[in-house]
Amino acid sequence: MTSSATSRAISSISGTTINIISSSSSSSHRYSSSMGWIRPTTLSVANTPNWAPSFISRTHRSRLVLIPRATSSSPDTGKKPNKRTRIRTKSNKKKPPQNQTQTQDQTQQQTSPSTSTSTSVVAQEEQQKQQLRLDLEDVNPVGLGRRSRQLFDEVWRKFSGLGQISSTSRADQREALDALLVREGPMCEFAIPGAQNTTVLVIGPTSRIGRIVVRKLMLRGYSVKALVRKADEQVVDMLPRSVEVVVGDVGDPSTLMAAVEGCNKIIYCATARSAITGDLFRVDHRGVYNVTKAFQDYNNKLAQLRAGKSSKSKLLLAKFKSQDSLVGWEARQGTYFQDVVASKYDGGMDAKFEFTASGEAVFSGYVFTRGGYVELTKRLSLPLGRTLDRYEGLVLSVGGNGRSYILILEAGPLADTSQSKLYFARISTKVGFCRVRVPFSSFRPVKPEDPPLDPFLIHTLTIRFEPRRQKPVEGPAAMKQDPRSFKLILEYIKALPTGQETDFILVSCTGSGLEPTRREQVLKAKRAGEDSLRRSGLGYTIIRPGPLKEEPGGQRALIFDQGNRISQGISCADVADICVKALLDSTARNKSFDVCYEYVAEQGKELYELVAHLPDKANNYLTPALSVLEKNT
Rule CB under 8 A: choose which of 146, 149, 215, 591 binds other proteins: 215
- CA separation for the pair 314, 584 (Å, rounded): 22
DSSP 11: H
- CA separation for the pair 407, 136 (Å, rounded): 92
Q: For residue 411, give the amino acid letter.
A: A
Rule CB under 8 A: choose which of 181, 316, 382, 478 binds other proteins: 181
Report 217-256 residues binding other proteins (CB under 8 A). Answer: 218-219, 237, 239-242
Our CA angle for 198, 202, 208, nearest 5°, is 135
Q: Judged by CB, which is closer to other proteins: 522, or 576?
A: 576
Chain-centroid distance of CA 487 in Å reads: 43
| Interaction between residue 85 and other proteins (CB under 8 A) | no
Shortest distance in whole angstroms from residue 441 CB to other proteins? 34
Number of neighbouring beta carbons within 10 Å of residue 240: 13
| Interaction between residue 17 and other proteins (CB under 8 A) | yes
Report 340-379 residues binding other proteins (CB under 8 A). Answer: none
Which stretch, 87-95, 109-117, 494-502, 598-606, contacts other proteins (CB under 8 A)? 109-117
| Interaction between residue 385 and other proteins (CB under 8 A) | no
Q: Show the beta-strand stretches assigned E in 223-371.
A: 223-228, 244-247, 265-268, 315-319, 330-335, 349-355, 361-367
**Count of residues binding other proteins (CB under 8 A)?**
86
Q: Judged by CB, which is closer to other proteins: 12, or 633?
A: 12
Shortest distance in whole angstroms from residue 516 CB to other proteins? 27
Shortest distance in whole angstroms from residue 398 CB to other proteins? 46
Q: For residue 542, give the amino acid letter.
A: I
Shortest distance in whole angstroms from residue 473 CB to other proteins? 48
DSSP 287: I
Q: Judged by CB, which is closer to other proteins: 165, or 601?
A: 165
Site string for other proteins, 116-155 (x = CB under 8 A): -xx-------------------------------------
Q: Judged by CB, which is closer to other proteins: 22, or 592?
A: 22
Number of neighbouring beta carbons within 10 Å of residue 408: 18
Report 561-620 residues binding other proteins (CB under 8 A). Answer: 571-574, 576, 616-618
Rule CB under 8 A: choose which of 109, 160, 323, 419 binds other proteins: 160
| Interaction between residue 187 and other proteins (CB under 8 A) | yes
- Backbone φ and ψ for 237, nearest 5 degrees, come out as -65, -25
Report 41-70 residues binding other proteins (CB under 8 A). Answer: 41, 43-44, 59-60, 64, 66-67, 69-70
Please answer whether residues 347 and 396 qualify as being in contact, where contact means their C-beta atoms are separated by less than 8 angstroms.
Answer: no
Which stretch, 6-14, 345-353, 421-429, 506-514, contacts other proteins (CB under 8 A)? 6-14
For the chain, how far is it from start to end, CA to CA, in angstroms? Answer: 66
| Interaction between residue 114 and other proteins (CB under 8 A) | yes
Candidates 142, 112, 110, 106; CA nearest to 127 is 142
- CA separation for the pair 25, 21 (Å, rounded): 6
Please answer whether residues 471 and 452 qualify as being in contact, where contact means their C-beta atoms are separated by less than 8 angstroms.
Answer: no
| Interaction between residue 199 and other proteins (CB under 8 A) | no
Return the sign of the alpha-carbon dihedral for residues 501, 503, 506, 510.
negative
